[in-house]
Amino acid sequence: MSNQLLFMYFPTALGALGANRMRSFLTMLGVAVGIAAMTGVTSLLQGFQGQVNDSFESMGTSTVYIQRSSGPSMGGGPGRMLEGRPELEVSYSDALLQVDGVVAVVPVARTYATVKTTDGVEMSVQLTGTSHAWLDAGRRSVHAGRFLTEFEVTAGQDVCVIGAVVSQRLFGNEAASGKRIEVQGVGLTVVGTLSGEGQIMGEARDNVVIVPYTVFQRWEELGSSLELMVEIEDPAMVDSMVPVVESVVRWLRGLGVDDDNNFDIMTSSQLQEGFSSVSKWLFIGLLGLSGLSLLIGSVGIANIMLVSVAQRTREIGLRMALGAGKHQIMYQFITESAVLSMVGGLAGIASGVVLAGLISAATGVPAGLEPWAFAVAFTVSMIVGVAAGVFPAARAASMEPVKALSR
């Protein structure tokens, strides 16, 4: 259909649709729902993907992660995925540091705990036990005060560094350094506050209390959630270093040549690839559901257009009698169908953006939508309209003028 013909029949199409407002509204609703679902899903997945990419970038590209299991175990104790797997040990660090190219090995253990001040203010936090090297390995920075020292970690001193959210909640605008807090019966002195980072992948990275791993054992066995962050000197060597680190850990855990690993080892790039694969199939599945809704909407458009053709038989006959060709009749009804679907598509895009914004506000997952996504959604709605209008338009164009006028 040429642009000239489209613009010629566009006002006629709008007039015909405006004459049957309720019918047009109900027809557009099916398309609007499908496009809204498509737009909302795309917006949330794009925003979430961007947040995940930022998270992996913050993890750095020079770190190898060793875990007892890649499954969730934080704060919930060992799960079924951990059965038969011995705990990791901090002592692995000594052997790993002997490997050429390894510059640091950082133990990290996590759980959840309740923190309160001497004034009785309390909150739930993520409690992390680690070493003095965590700050650099975790790509974090200190906003006020300082981080843990090697001596404090070795000596198991009762000190901690708190996140920005914890500092604000417990102490307001006052300096947190030097203040005392209590973590489930254990008193700690705050020596520093981390710079704020907000939420990444739904995790509040500022709602954290960092303690020496030697102190962490007062709340929970270290090995139950322990993982090791192995820092590689040259990021370009990470992939080649993974087998080396893996062989050392296998030796430390007494595994034979034919034994499977009883631990997991991965890099941030591998984690990112795994997430991208999952998100891709999730995206395809959700778009499939949106497509089903659009299919239902297209059937609705086709039915309504068939009804419209039946009700406007005399009009079609009159136009043919005045010289309108079959292709012109077809263009008219296809244009009406396309306009119906495109208006529904525009309404769906707007609704999808609003829906994504509401979900984002409720969950903290950012909503992000690229301009191409709007163009794709609008184009899809137009294609649906044209496809749904072909059969009704062909039926209208096949009428005999005399018979049409006699009805």
More confident residue, 297 or 264: 264
Q: Which domain does 143 fall in, by range?
A: 69-262
Closest CA relative to residue 50, chosen from 196, 200, 195: 200
Residue 216 in tokens: 């962490």
Pair 335, 200 in one domain: no
Confidence of residue 226 (pLDDT cuts 50, 70, 90): very high
Token representation of residue 387: 């496809």
Question: Do both 129 and 201 map to the same domain?
Answer: yes
Using one digit for the tens of pLDDT, what is the confidence trace for 251-282?
999 888 888 998 998 887 776 666 667 777 77
In this prediction, residue 108 carries a pLDDT of: 94
Among 213, 242, 262, identify where a domain stops.
Answer: 262
Asked if residue 64 belongs to a domain, the reply is no
Q: Please check the confidence at residue 296 and state whether its pLDDT lies above 60.
A: yes
* Section 96-112 average pLDDT: 92
Rounded Cα–Cα distance for residues 388 and 334 (Å): 8
In this structure, the answer to whether residues 41 and 151 fall within a common structural domain is: no
| 18 and 137 belong to one structural domain | no
Confidence tier at 73 by pLDDT (50, 70, 90)? very low
> Under 8 Å CB-to-CB from 281, ≥6 apart: which residues?
none
In a domain, 383, yes or no: yes
- Tens of pLDDT along 354-396? 887 787 777 666 666 667 777 878 888 888 888 888 888 888 8
Q: Mean pLDDT across the chain, nearest whole number?
A: 80
Domain shared by 343 and 402, yes or no: yes
| Domain membership flag for residue 401 | yes
Decide if 205 is inside a domain.
Answer: yes
Residue 94's pLDDT is 92
Handedness of CA 370, 373, 375, 377 (dihedral sign): negative
Same domain, 277 and 331: yes
pLDDT of residue 187: 92
**Residue 402, exposed/middle/buried by CB under 10 A (0-12, 13-18, 19+)?**
exposed
Written as six digits, the tokens of 105 are 């090995």
Q: How far apart are CA 327 and CA 335, in angstroms?
A: 12
Does the residue 298 lie in any domain?
yes
For residue 58, the model assigns a pLDDT of 59
Whether 241 and 336 share a structural domain: no
Question: Domain total for the chain?
Answer: 2
Q: 268 in a domain, yes or no? A: no
Backbone dihedral region for residue 228 (phi beyond 0: left; psi -120 to 50: alpha; all else: beta): beta
